[in-house]
A and B are shown apart, each in its own frame.
Chain A
Amino acid sequence: MSRLAMVIDTRRCVGCQDCVVACKTENQTPEGFNRDWITYITKGRFPTLSMSIQSERCNHCDDPPCVSCCPTGASHVHDFGGIVLVDKDECIGCKACVASCPYDARYMHPDGYADKCTFCVHRVEHGQDPACVSVCPTHCMYFGDLDDPESEVSKLLASRKHYSLLPEAGTKPRIFYLE
């Protein structure tokens, strides 16, 4: 089974929010909710400051707590690429998955079910990139299979210094940021 992942080059990302708009347009998320977002982080002490920008979304964790806590099996790991998905016809809206996510990647859709990034499964199953990756004007986002050593994401992770978000929460996230 493949393990689809995203690698984002923080040196190239300018925080333009094109990925956010692309996702909203592609997935028609309701007003007031986003499946992906930008975080601007300032570190240091004035005047010696550094700023970094991260495009964030569901980490499609290898060990997803949202799946193990779901009482109906609505949250599940998809056969294709290990993408973490929600079957809205099985979701009862108990919100356990929302509470279980250390990344706050989920929200309750106004129609009553838990919703989040799908890695644009409807696109990637047909060989396309997720909408956010495909529109990035600086080409800072890469998408591919971690289990394939020849994939672009595997090569980048093998050659560049990188980090993931809150690895200490123990969910084995699959979104990586190049430093």
Chain B
Amino acid sequence: MTPIEVISTARSPVTDPHVHVWGWEIPVYLFLGGLTAGLMILSGYALWRGRRNPRPEASFALASSGLFGVGLVTISLGMVALFLDLVHKPYVWRLYLTFEPTSPMSWGSWILLLVYPVLALGVLLDPPRVLRERVPAVARLRRLADSDRARRWFGLVSIAVGVGLGAYTGLLLSSLGARPMWSSSVLAPLFLVSGLSTAAAFAHWVTPVPEESEQLARLDNALIVAELAMLAFFLIGLVSSTEVHARAAALLLGGPYTAVFWVGVVGLGLVVPLVIQSLVVTRRVAHTPLAPILVLLGGLVLRFVLVSAGQISHWSRL
């Protein structure tokens, strides 16, 4: 029988009405981590296919040091957010005294340690002239970076580390079974595809090469469609599962997060940019930064909604 009233003395002004676990820092980190992962995968793929930056020096074309540099900035901002979220900050080094195979967060902390050298090497593919002239080691590395073989291998490594980073940001949430909204294995591929989509949008926005704009707009359209499908799988999975999972889905289907999810994420974040970019690739409107900016904001809002609503979803009866 469902209780009609539950009074608990566990509630205090600190925990009432819900145990508030994560604030703005975690969604921001998950967004920036996903964006970085997407940039690593896109650039890694371009390198693997043997693409060379048509304009050396710091431009932001695919496989350029510029995009890897952006990755360094976005992941570092994400790490700052992650660090701000920690309550026991002076103990952060404890992450690196152990490896806990059952903890996605432990995997993530070690993956982040791989992300930095890969991004740094990516920047050194076409290092800025100042660095090349002042540091002899960078000039030597440049000879290696000119080798097609080395570039292809580096591309594969970048893809592998990027997939690890992007998937872990979703797995992190989906491993926490106590929050029914998160206990969906779709979250890992959803966050990976969303990360790729935001990265394609960003690259589309900044690339100086017209052919790349075209390719990236088409790619992003495909990724947006994939993301819409994954969101549908996510909701269908929850609705058709147990009562608590269906109740978690109801937070997005009529509950308090309905408007922000359907308008902010699905509408403005996915459908509207998909429509704009479909018109762009069929030559009916010119390339506009509006669509990529909407995709980027949509990716951020998606993570805010899922982190916040996920925390509210729970197993108990009331």
Contact = CB atoms under 8 A, between A and B. Distances in A.
Interface of A: 17, 20, 32-34, 37-45, 49, 56, 65, 68-74, 88-96, 98-102, 104, 106-108, 112-113, 166, 168-170
A39 B10 CA distance: 8
B98 to A, nearest CB: 5
B98 A73 contact: yes
Given A38-B9, A39-B10, A94-B105, A102 B314 contact: yes
B176 A99 contact: yes
Interface of B: 1-10, 12-15, 19, 21-22, 85-89, 91-92, 94-95, 97-98, 100, 102-106, 108-109, 172, 175-179, 242, 311, 314-316
Nearest to A74: B94
B3 to A, nearest CB: 5
Given A32-B13, A39-B10, A65 B177 contact: yes
A112 B106 contact: no
A92 B4 contact: no
A93 B86 contact: yes
A48 B104 CA distance: 48
Nearest to B2: A43
B15 A72 contact: no
Contact of B7 (A39, A95, A106): A39
Contact of A93 (B6, B89, B315): B89
A40 B6 contact: yes
A90 B95 CA distance: 9
B314 to A, nearest CB: 7
Contact of A98 (B3, B4, B21, B89): B21
